[in-house]
Amino acid sequence: MKKENRPSGSWLGDSSFTNAEPESNHKDINKYLVYEDCLLSLFQNCPLCTCPCVVKKAVRGTYLSVQQNCPNCGYNQQWNSQPLVGSTPAGDLQLSAAISFTGSSFAQVDKVLTALKVKSIDKATHQRHVRNYLDPCIYSTWQSVQSGLLQTMTSKDVVNLRGDLKADVNAKYDSYTVRDMETDNVIDVQLVQSEVGHSNGVEMEGLVRSLDFLESSGVKIDTFTTNRNRQVKKYLREEKPEVTHCYDVRHIAKDVSRKLAELGKKKGCKMIQKWQQSIVSHLHWSSQLSPSGDYTVAKWSSLLNHVHDMHDHANRLFPKCLHSPVTGHSKKWLKSGTKPSIRLQKIIQNKRLLKDVAKLSPLLQTSDIEGFHSLIRRFAPQNVAFKFRGLLCRLYLAAMHHNENKGQQRLQNEDYVQNLMDVLFEEVLTDPGRFTAKLRALPLPAALDATRETPVRDIVVSTSVVHLIGHKYPVVHLVKLT
């Protein structure tokens, strides 16, 4: 093992204070808030002759070492508050790991501990732990988790996937996430630098990378659900004709809801506001378990009759509403030929919308996109600057948290945190160089300005102050270089 890869650094001044106790199991070890006066009082008197002792303490980060010497009988002992890993306090590593693995902020945790006057590590120490041990641990663990997910998927004849873009992960990067429609597990996360252009270009780049990776892993894709990105539509049609491209109902429903909200604000169309949620819900229902796009369109188009209290339809694919007879209806039915009826018909029967409705995914979409995006914001807040590998590891943490807690409304399961702790203390810290090398082998994107040519400046701007009556600002002169 290379020396520089081990947790190192003799911080305690007196070398006699660095004698490590046997390394302790990191599992199921409780910690307590202990006041210094209460703790040191245990060492004030000699346990043999009860005479006053000379007590010295050494503190570094969360670690406390106490040296007790009795001048009367010569008794002495050294007490350490926690085991050491190499020469690094285990508590320091566990605190750094707990902050990172749970998606917490070092600044916030440090504020709390400082207010309590609890001894803690500094920011530089935390960042060193993240760089040398924690990020390599996250990266390796995600690779193992992803490998297990892929093994399950490759055992199936075909799978149905969906892709979501999370724009503005920070000022420099966006993320593209692929999930399994059946299990809602996050299968792949791609971090794309903004150099590829606007969000449409980023989405294309993320999708292409994910599909190439999944197909090279042996995953057979039946349907792939996305938003209505035209570039994606063209790419899947031309490059992946074997994959059926479907649209995410939430993206279309959001657009329809916006148009209905605008219509409801217009004069004479206020009643549309009461129908808005029902219409959006009908769109979701229309897409579910439909055997074909035409059938989905027929279910969606039946809405126009329904809002007029007509429940038999001319379309043979969907000739009649499936609900029970309507009694005591709380909403006001629309009348044909009125302004709200005509305006609503234009929205429902919009040609482009009908084409998109025909491509809605027939699979039940239970995943909360915004919920997952908020999870990304928790693990990778925009006000914190992360480098590429560090940010990618944060996204992997969000994916592991999501996979473990999908479908849960209240209680949050964080077994993945304990799993990461196990990998850290049982594998990474025994040979950190091997894990660090894996992460460093991950290629970095080129710098944003790496391919840009330095512009030739043929115009220089010079300023001079012209003292004119009533003119107090400099006049700018453009001078053409020859």
* 294-346 residue pLDDT tens: 999 999 999 999 999 999 999 999 999 988 887 766 778 999 999 999 999 99
337-386, pLDDT tens digit by residue? 999 999 999 999 999 999 999 999 988 665 567 778 888 888 988 888 88
Q: Strand locations in 240-385, DSSP E?
A: 244-247
HSE-CB for 5 with a 13 A CA cutoff? 13
pLDDT for res 414: 84
Name the burial class of residue 228, with classes exposed (0-12), middle (13-18) and buried (19+) by CB atoms within 10 angstroms of its CB. Answer: middle
Place of tokens 């090398």: 437
pLDDT for res 448: 62
pLDDT for res 168: 67
pLDDT for res 195: 62
Q: What is the pLDDT along the chain (482 residues), one digit of tens a residue?
A: 333 343 433 334 444 444 444 454 677 688 999 999 999 999 999 999 999 999 999 999 999 999 999 999 999 999 999 999 988 999 999 999 999 999 999 999 999 999 999 999 999 999 999 999 999 999 999 999 999 999 999 999 999 999 988 876 666 888 999 999 999 999 999 998 876 556 678 889 999 999 999 999 999 999 999 988 889 999 999 999 999 999 999 889 999 999 999 999 999 999 999 999 999 999 999 988 888 999 999 999 999 999 999 999 999 999 999 888 877 667 789 999 999 999 999 999 999 999 999 999 988 665 567 778 888 888 988 888 888 999 999 999 999 999 998 877 666 788 999 999 999 999 999 999 999 999 999 988 877 655 445 444 444 444 334 443 444 444 444 444 43
Q: Which two tokens stand for residue 465?
A: 């102050």
Please tell me the distance from the alpha carbon of residue 271 to that of residue 196, in angstroms, as a whole number. Answer: 45
- At position 379, the amino acid (one-letter code) is F
Using the Cα atoms of residue 5, residue 10, residue 16 and residue 21 in order, give the sign of their dihedral. negative
Using the Cα atoms of residue 221, residue 154, residue 178 and residue 192 in order, give the sign of their dihedral. negative
Could you tell me the residue ranges of all domains in the chain? Answer: 3-137, 249-357
Select from 141, 140, 188, 136 the least CA-distant residue to 162: 188
HSE-CB for 78 with a 13 A CA cutoff? 14
Please tell me the distance from the alpha carbon of residue 398 to that of residue 199, in angstroms, as a whole number. Answer: 21
Using the Cα atoms of residue 149, residue 155, residue 156 and residue 160 in order, give the sign of their dihedral. positive
Using the Cα atoms of residue 328, residue 334, residue 335 and residue 336 in order, give the sign of their dihedral. negative
Phi-psi domain of 270 (left: phi exceeds 0; alpha: psi -120 through 50; beta: other)? alpha
CA distances from 137 to 7, 131, 393, 418 (A): 15, 10, 9, 12
Please tell me the distance from the alpha carbon of residue 31 to that of residue 37, in angstroms, as a whole number. Answer: 18
Please tell me the distance from the alpha carbon of residue 169 to that of residue 383, in angstroms, as a whole number. Answer: 10
DSSP secondary structure code for residue 451 in this structure: T
Name the burial class of residue 350, with classes exposed (0-12), middle (13-18) and buried (19+) by CB atoms within 10 angstroms of its CB. Answer: middle
Let me know: does 437 contact 452? Beta carbons within 8 Å: no
Q: Would you mind telling me the total number of residues written for the chain in this entry?
A: 482
Phi, psi torsion values for 153, nearest 5 degrees: -70, -40
pLDDT for res 362: 87
DSSP SS3 for 226: strand
pTM of this structure = 0.82
Phi, psi torsion values for 219, nearest 5 degrees: -80, 130
Name the burial class of residue 363, with classes exposed (0-12), middle (13-18) and buried (19+) by CB atoms within 10 angstroms of its CB. Answer: middle
Residue 20 CB partners (closer than 8 Å, separation 6+): 80, 83, 84, 86, 87
Neighbours of 456 (CB within 10 A): 6
Q: Which two tokens stand for residue 256?
A: 């329809």
Please tell me the distance from the alpha carbon of residue 32 to that of residue 228, in angstroms, as a whole number. Answer: 54
HSE-CB for 255 with a 13 A CA cutoff? 14
Q: What is the dihedral of CA 233, 187, 97, 124, to 10 degrees?
A: -30
End-to-end CA distance of the chain: 63
Let me know: does 247 contact 283? Beta carbons within 8 Å: no
pLDDT for res 165: 87
